[in-house]
């Protein structure tokens, strides 16, 4: 086994979209002198360096979505999954490949798996790495990742203004009253409009959390419907199939067939290679000064 390390896993889509919209609100998009859009790539790179400085990892990996919505495993389970997603802005589309050129310059692996989402890639990696004895920190904007928390896996949820919320088992319990194993069951009841996960109509986050805390998990809740109010019992009975489908959709898959080399993920890079890429993208001195 490799010597125990500290691995930073970055949710590539979360970082890139946040970087794009965070820098685009004023209507101006950073471009090179030849007209190449770089605002999302610049913001992504800054955020990656911010978190690398904060966490001080021995290794760093970026996980990506690599499939269209239609080809996702979850879309085969439920046709409506993420059906409300709009196409990304034209200014962002070329930056999906460009950002991977930058991470490549840093010798950071970009990992994805057809049919699966970045969450599944990070879930698989975090599970494998934790089993091997490594400490894992996931940086993402997606609260679904809270289900991955363990004694060896913590999650940093991106917030506006460059801030984040740090979650480990203790802070998850203190802030939300639940344990990692209950995260999915809460979402199964409340649903998620952003991913088109239906949940149980009429049950919001507060009620979902209360029910799961009281009963421990979804199965126990359904085994004890007699203890619920008639109105609640009726809702849950009527939507049982939909609730269990929502549980399946919300569960991060932790065994996707993604290959990676731990040694190749070491957070060490050639300064000259990085500066050359920065120069090509006209990133300027501020960012270059942080790469020593």
Q: Is the pLDDT of residue 138 over 80?
A: yes
pLDDT in tens, 46-77: 999 999 999 999 999 999 998 777 778 999 99
Domain map (residue ranges) of the chain: 6-177+252-288, 180-250
Residue 166 has pLDDT above 50, yes or no: yes
Buried b / exposed e over 207-246, threshold 16 CB at 10 Å, is: bbbebbeebeebeebeeeeeebeeebeebbeebeebbebb
CATH topology of domain 180-250: DNA polymerase; domain 1 (1.10.150)
Token duo for residue 254: 């932790």
Per-residue pLDDT tens over the stretch 90-137: 999 999 999 999 999 999 999 999 999 999 999 999 999 999 999 999
What per-residue confidence (pLDDT) applies to 26?
62
CATH topology of domain 6-177+252-288: Rossmann fold (3.40.50)
Question: DSSP character for 15?
Answer: H
Supply the pTM of this predicted model.
0.95
Rounded distance between C-alpha atoms, residue 193 and residue 133, angstroms: 36
Q: Choose the most confident range, by mean pLDDT, from 22-26, 83-87, 159-163, 196-200.
A: 196-200
| pLDDT at residue 6 in the model | 98
The average pLDDT across 223-232 equals: 95
Give CA–CA dist 136/119, Å, rounded.
14
Dist CA 108 CA 104 (whole Å): 6
Average pLDDT of the residues in 148-153: 98
Q: Which two tokens stand for residue 126?
A: 């975090």
pLDDT band at 23 (very low <50, low <70, confident <90, very high): confident
Ranking 3-12, 47-56, 78-87, 164-173 by mean pLDDT, the lowest is: 78-87
**pLDDT of amino acid 1:** 47
- Reading the block at residue 21, the tokens are 């919209």
The predicted-structure confidence for 266-282, as pLDDT tens digits, reads as follows 999 999 999 999 999 99
């Amino acid at each position: 086994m490799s010597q125990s390390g500290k691995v930073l896993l970055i949710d590539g889509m979360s970082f890139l979209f946040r970087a794009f919209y965070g820098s685009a609100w004023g209507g101006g998009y950073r471009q090179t002198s030849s007209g190449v859009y770089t605002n999302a790539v610049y913001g992504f790179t800054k955020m990656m360096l911010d978190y690398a400085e904060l966490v001080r990892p021995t290794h760093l990996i970026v996980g990506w979505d690599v499939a269209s919505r239609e080809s996702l495993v979850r879309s085969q389970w439920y046709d409506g999954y993420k059906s409300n997603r709009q196409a990304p802005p034209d200014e962002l589309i070329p930056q999906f490949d460009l950002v991977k050129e930058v991470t490549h310059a840093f010798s950071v692996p970009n990992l994805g798996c057809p049919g699966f989402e970045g969450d599944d890639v990070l879930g698989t990696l975090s599970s494998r790495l934790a089993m091997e004895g490594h400490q894992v920190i996931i940086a993402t904007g997606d609260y679904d990742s809270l289900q991955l928390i363990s004694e060896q896996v913590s999650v940093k949820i991106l917030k506006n203004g460059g801030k984040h919320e740090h979650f480990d088992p203790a802070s998850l319990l203190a802030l939300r009253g639940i344990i990692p194993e209950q995260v999915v069951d809460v979402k199964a009841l409340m649903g998620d409009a952003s991913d088109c996960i239906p949940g149980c109509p009429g049950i919001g986050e507060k009620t979902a959390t209360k029910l799961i805390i009281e009963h421990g998990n979804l199965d126990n809740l359904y085994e004890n419907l007699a203890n619920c109010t008639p109105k609640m019992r009726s809702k849950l009975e009527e939507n049982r199939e939909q609730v269990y489908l929502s549980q399946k959709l919300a569960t991060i898959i932790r065994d996707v067939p993604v290959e990676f080399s731990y040694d190749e993920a070491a957070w060490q890079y050639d300064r000259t290679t990085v500066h050359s890429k920065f120069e090509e993208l006209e990133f300027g001195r501020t960012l270059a000064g942080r790469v020593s």
